Amino acid sequence: MDEQELIRRVQQGDEQAFAQIMALYKDRIVNYLYGFSGDYQKAVELAQETFIRVFFKANKYKPIAPLSSWIYTIASNLAKTECRRSRRMATVSLEDIPNSYSSGTYYEDPADPGLVRNLREALEALHPRYRVPVVLKDMEGFSQEEIAKIIRRPVGTVKARISRGREQLRLKLEKARNDEAPVAGKKEVSEHGRA
């Protein structure tokens, strides 16, 4: 069954059609929101809210654009709202503060090498006006025209934001690489004071 038929059935209250739409898009939306927020739990919460809105606002969907564009638009709007809210609140939970005095030892997650960590941090540092188009283009594979529909901006604006976002990412990643690179000409000194 095609997506247009599924959403038509959802508009009539068919919960099985809605479950099929969720199965098609759930993982993609969570991954998109994770790329946007950098917080998996927050991405799952925002994805749940996205699908709640898809179900309850199904009658607002117009078949002039692909269903995926409409769903990503809802997710993008929720993510931007959350980003603004979190900037205003700027609170930190005590559980989120690393405790260097704990009995356990800190270790780097082997599944998260430096490049991935640096990329995630660079993405999180991007302003949402650049992060959204870059994630939609480079991680989700949308065309610039589709992104323009999702974020409701002209294609030229989308192209410029993707270009600027990529450039900012490149600069941040180069800086991170240079910060982590060993200083040339310095030799490691052993415990006994010899190089």
- CB-side neighbour CA atoms (13 Å) of 33: 32
Q: Are residues 125 and 43 in the same domain?
A: no
- pLDDT of residue 112 exceeding 60: no
Domain with residue 175: its CATH number is 1.10.10.10
- pLDDT of residue 97 exceeding 70: no
Q: Are residues 1 and 81 in the same domain?
A: yes
Cβ pair 38, 125 in contact under 8 A: no
Number of domains in the chain: 2
- pLDDT of residue 161 exceeding 90: yes
pTM exceeds 0.75 for this model = no
Q: Are residues 83 and 10 in the same domain?
A: yes
Mean pLDDT calculated for residue range 98-113: 42
Whole-number CA gyration radius for the chain: 21
Encode pLDDT of 11-39 as tens digits: 998 999 999 999 999 999 999 998 878 88
Q: Is residue 95 part of a domain?
A: no
Q: Are residues 18 and 85 in the same domain?
A: yes
Mean pLDDT calculated for residue range 159-183: 83
Residue where a domain stops, chosen among 55, 89, 123: 89
* Nearest by Cα to 33 from 170, 111, 147, 25: 25
Q: Are residues 82 and 117 in the same domain?
A: no
| 28 or 104, greater pLDDT | 28
Distances (CA, A) of 81 to 61, 74, 120, 127, 134: 21, 11, 20, 13, 18
